[in-house]
Amino acid sequence: MRTRNGACSSIKSECLDNIVPLGERHLWLAIKEYVEHYHQERHHQGLDSSIIPRGNAAGTDGLIQRRERLDGILNHYYREVA
C-alpha cells in the first residue's frame, strides 16, 4: 500500500476526513473497510489506473452494480456476470 506516510495520508484524506468515529471500534472498522476497498476495488496509478487483477474478469454483459462501503463514502461499480 505505498509507504507508511502515504498510506496514512490516503486513509485520512479519502476516508477519515469524511466520518466522525464514534469510538475506537468504529475507527478500526472504518480503516478495515478502507483497506479492503484500497486493495480490491480502487484504481491504481501504478497499474495504468487499473484495479489489481483478481481471478475472474467481468464481461460486457450484465447489469452494473454498486458496492457501497462506509455508508456510501467509498463506492465500487462493477458489471454483474450475466
Q: Is the pLDDT of residue 55 over 70?
A: no
The Cα–Cα gap between 76 and 82 comes to: 18
Exposure pattern of 29-43 as b/e (b: 16+ CB <10 Å)? ebeebbeebbeebee
Q: How many domains does the chain have?
A: 1
Burial class (CB in 10 A: 0-12, 13-18, 19+), 47: exposed
Q: Is the pLDDT of residue 81 over 80?
A: no
In terms of pTM, does the model score above 0.85? no
Would you call 39 helix, strand, or coil by DSSP? helix
Is the backbone of residue 29 left (phi > 0), alpha (psi -120 to 50) or beta? alpha
49 is in which domain, residue-wise?
A: 4-79
Q: What is the pLDDT of residue 59?
A: 61
Grid coordinates belonging to 64: 452494473
